[in-house]
Structure 1
Amino acid sequence: MEGPDAERVLALHEGEHLLYRVLVPADTKRSVLTEVVDRLSLAHWREAVEAVREGGRRDADTARAEASTVLDTTVAALRALGRDADGVITDDDPVPALEAAVQQHGAREVVVVTRPHAVEETFHRDWASRAREVLGVPVLHTYAGTGQVG
């Protein structure tokens, strides 16, 4: 999450002093079919071809490094806007870590910012939809870089 996304998230509770806890899934496993369909649904032809070429191979260290970069960027963006923020990298399925964080910190709301995942979202298997089922607090899902709500 970079500047504009951070600003949109912070605008939800303007004037309040809150701690923002950022959770980024490692995403070491992914389905080639799901990745290709997601890319095609967004008309990202080149990325779809690259997903086929990679064949679902994803080095766990590379995935964790990418997650670390996302985490660092997001926390820095929130802090640059004057907010308290910290975060962690979770397992591939972030819902258990999200559930624990909500309980531990007494969160009253969760904001999930992801890139679009057409297949998972259509069948409500994306992690924002699954989080809505178990958390007991409102879950807002937005798409990075767009301001669109999922």
Structure 2
Amino acid sequence: MADYDVVLLVEQALTEQDARQVRSLHDGLDDPVTYHVLLPLDDAAARVEASLGSLSGSELLASPQTPMDAVDLEAVREDCQERSEADLTATVAALESAGATVASSTLVTGSPIDELVAKVKEVDGRETIILTQPHVVAELFRLDWASKARRHLDVPVLHLLEHETFDEQAAGPDGISGA
């Protein structure tokens, strides 16, 4: 019996509920299921930009602007690395707690879709599951991870919303599949 390899691309740490739902998708398969988890490294530059964007114009004008020095940026990078590693560890623990076998877990530093495609090819993946928060605009224009993955892969791609039950996802306007 060959393993049924599933590649998971997750946006953030999975909860116990997320892990149970993922695992439940493969109950009853004859072949043993093995999971490979990919989680993008939190982007330090994006986090700095987002925090600056949350300041109002008057706050920026009222205080002298201090450029971020290399030490500050390195501290943010280290924090991003630590958070991402903790999220990956928590995801693997949640999956294993739900009875899943996790063969590999990787922090993605490049394009999440490129890494997903490479991992599916590397392990001869039979399917992919992408778990994200809702990204309405990206999904509308088919620029979200699931849409991009479907264009590059010849295996089933399932897009699930993190931290929502299947029933909650199915209650949306497009149902679970988003089709």
With structure 2 as the length reference, what TM-score do the two structures score? 0.65
Q: Deviations over 1:12-37 (max 9, x none)?
A: 1103421110000114154999x7xx
Aligned CA-pair RMSD: 2.7
SS at match of 1:61: helix
- Report the residue type matching 2:82 in the other structure: A
Aligned partner of 1:140 in structure 2 is 158
Over 3 Å counting, the alpha-carbon distance change for 1:93 and 1:60 in structure 2 is farther
Contact 2:15-2:94 at 8 Å conserved across structures: yes
May I ask how many residue pairs the two structures share in their alignment? Answer: 134
1:21 paired residue among 30, 36, 53: 36
Q: Distance in 2 between matches of 1:88 and 1:73?
A: 13
Contact 2:23-2:99 at 8 Å conserved across structures: no
1:69 paired residue among 86, 93, 100: 86
Q: Distance in 2 between matches of 1:118 and 1:60?
A: 28
SS at match of 2:131: strand
Q: Structure 1: state its 5+ residue gaps.
A: 36-49
Q: Structure 2: state its 5+ residue gaps.
A: 1-13, 57-67, 170-175
Aligned partner of 1:12 in structure 2 is 25
Aligned partner of 2:4 in structure 1 is none
Over 3 Å counting, the alpha-carbon distance change for 1:135 and 1:88 in structure 2 is same
Q: Is 1:60 matched with 2:77?
A: yes
SS at match of 2:115: helix
- Report the residue type matching 2:94 in the other structure: A
Q: Is 1:108 matched with 2:126?
A: yes
Over 3 Å counting, the alpha-carbon distance change for 1:73 and 1:112 in structure 2 is same
Q: Deviations over 1:25-76 (max 9, x none)?
A: 114154999x7xxxxxxxxxxxxxx673279x98333333222122111100
Contact 1:26-1:89 at 8 Å conserved across structures: yes
Contact 2:40-2:107 at 8 Å conserved across structures: yes
Contact 2:131-2:160 at 8 Å conserved across structures: yes
SS at match of 1:82: coil
Q: Highest CA radius of gyration, 1 or 2?
A: 2
Contact 1:27-1:92 at 8 Å conserved across structures: no
Q: Distance in 2 between matches of 1:123 and 1:32?
A: 27
Q: Is 1:2 matched with 2:30?
A: no
Identical positions, percent:
34
Contact 1:93-1:127 at 8 Å conserved across structures: no
With structure 1 as the length reference, what TM-score do the two structures score? 0.76
Over 3 Å counting, the alpha-carbon distance change for 1:60 and 1:117 in structure 2 is farther
- Report the residue type matching 2:106 in the other structure: V
